[in-house]
């Protein structure tokens, strides 16, 4: 995966972490670890932050770190986070996220 983005209307329900984690599980194919650098998508373009000390930027990074931590990613160094795929942590975390997402299902389902 290069990046993960969810339209604003679907944010706040835990779906981003659930979908990203499910993709990691499906795509891991025997990999031992997954690595990510939680940062706003603007860092991946030419228009990165003007000032690394910007409070808005720091807040966004902190929020993204919390999202990835829901999957079991842990800070390694220099903003890089690692998930050991040999542990059952990802499966457990995905189960919790699925259970939480079920709360938002409508009565129509």
Q: In what order do the strands lie in the sheet with 33-36?
A: 33-36, 80-84, 74-77
- Interatomic CA distance for residues 18 and 14, integer angstroms: 6
> What backbone phi and psi angles, to 5 degrees, belong to 53?
-90, 0
**Could you read off the pLDDT tens digit of each residue along the chain, which spans 109 residues?**
777 778 888 888 888 899 999 999 999 988 999 999 998 876 545 445 555 557 888 888 898 999 999 999 999 999 999 999 998 889 999 999 999 888 877 644 5
Q: Is the pTM of this model over 0.85?
A: no
Cβ contacts of residue 48 below 8 Å, gap of 6+? 42
Cβ contacts of residue 50 below 8 Å, gap of 6+? none
């Amino acid at each position: 995966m290069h990046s993960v983005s969810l339209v604003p209307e679907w944010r706040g329900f835990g779906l981003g972490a659930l979908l990203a984690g499910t993709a990691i599980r499906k795509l891991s194919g025997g990999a031992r670890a997954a690595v990510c650098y939680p940062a706003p998508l603007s860092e991946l373009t030419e228009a990165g932050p003007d000032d690394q000390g910007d409070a808005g930027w720091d807040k966004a990074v902190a929020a993204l770190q919390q999202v990835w931590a829901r999957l079991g990613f842990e800070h390694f160094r220099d903003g890089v986070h690692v998930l050991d795929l040999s542990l059952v942590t990802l499966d457990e975390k995905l189960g919790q996220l699925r259970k939480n997402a079920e709360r938002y299902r409508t009565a129509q389902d």
